[in-house]
Structure 1
Amino acid sequence: MTCPSLIVYVDDSDESDARVELACDLAVSFDSLLIGLSASLPQPPMLDPVAGMGDVLTLYRQMAEAEVERAGERFRAIAGARSVRSEWRAGLSSPGDLLAGEARAADLVVIGQKAAGVPFRSPDPSDLILSAGRPVLLVPPVRARSPVGEPALVAWKDTRESRRAVAAALPLLRRASRVDVVEVAATTDMAAAEARVRDVCEFLGRHQIEAAAVPLDDKGEPITVRILAEAARCKAGLVVAGGYGHGRMREWMLGGVTRSLLTHSDVCVLMAH
């Protein structure tokens, strides 16, 4: 079970360097091609009655080109030092649009969990989960553990998105030191939740992945609180979850698991929509 190609979003920052190092770890583990990508969209300039508009546009374009070039230098230095097979792709365009399109070349997309400079310098994680058509690995700014070789937690909900996320995560789950399948449910639904997570464990077992079924009582707490507490308890390096099962607008207006994991997880999260 392999992951032949990865694509990682790169920018000119130390946080990006750590993300590229993680992507190199994955590429080494899976013997994958690692594609680095960066984009910068020249920002619409503020109107300046003194400076000529053409000069201002040229300046913004040059700044964007320089940012992309610095990102490429950082990527090539890290990938070269790790001796991974790599490619570099870049453009002066919307980072989210470019990355979603180039994701056709990869099995997994690796991005920062909390992107800075959206939409001109970095892709929006929420948009990318919905548009990439590939599983997205969201890397927090600071992570204590690796998503490879550490315990993994499947945050199950009986939705299409969860099924896709689990299927996409099979290569990573096979390399986990332990896999727990968790569903947070009300006390009255615990029996049904246990049956569902056992089904998922049996599915994983047919892919040579041993997993434990862990139905969790919600205890009246938000689902994400229970998931992240369980991830901390088992020292997970990876959480696998479906993305936007209720639709993005509802999640952002009323709150939801996807939104909370995007903003509060200190563990790498693999999502699929």
Structure 2
Amino acid sequence: MVKEFELSNNEKEFILKGIKEGLRLDNRDKNEFRAIGIIFGPEYGRSEVILGNTRVLAKVSCEVIRPYPDRPNEGMITLSTELSPMAFPNIEPGRPSEEEVLVSRILEKAIKRSRAIDTEGLCIVANEKVWSIRVDIHFLDHDGNIIDAACIAAISALAHFRRPDVTVIGEEVTIHPIEQRNPVPLSVLHMPICITFAFFEDGKYVVVDPTLQEEQIRQGDMTMTLNVHKELCTLSKAGGIPLEMETIIDCSRIATSKATWITEQIHSALEAEAKKLKF
């Protein structure tokens, strides 16, 4: 478990000097992600992502509810984040911190507003019954870049999730237990992947997937959300130093290749799990 701590001036200077010379404390290149581990199960829709020493758990659940009046043929997707005091010792339990609000907003834009899940496919009976899908995201260990780890965990869990099958005869709706009939996967239209950059020395130096120590000395950051189709779903930059257009374009090129690489990692993990469970 990684605890947040205040770096000394000497430590800050040492880390920054290394970044200027193209050296990072964990021996990564400036455009290199840490190793990603994705663990599924034991139930459908549970995904734990390990990004270096950062760990995030996502769990998907569902229930049948009435649809919104203005969207009678669409189901719902809800995202909920929980920052554990074990991973974030400075937070106040029961009160959302600025970091939690920021993470929630970015994930909401990345997954919900980009329409990653086919919500019309969640309709059971128009105006009457739809599936409500809920994604609970728990931050277990924080060693930097929790946004990217949370996004990978959430989209992996959604792709792994299976809802109960449903039979509709007239006005009668029967929800079949998983033990009686094979559950149904969600329709994932695309996989939005968050890629976060940290900036130093007025944007002169940029690193991808910053660690907690690098986050503590950065002057600004930016999160791009892309998919394998090279579509920019969202771009989030909450304050920090202004960036040149050239820097943003360079970051978009890096983010495109990283999003493709991470998507391949997710598909590989899903395929390995499918073989194990014989989906």
Normalised by the size of structure 2, how large is the TM-score? 0.23
Relative to total residues, which structure has the larger strand share, 1 or 2? 2
Normalised by the size of structure 1, how large is the TM-score? 0.24
Relative to total residues, which structure has the larger helix share, 1 or 2? 1
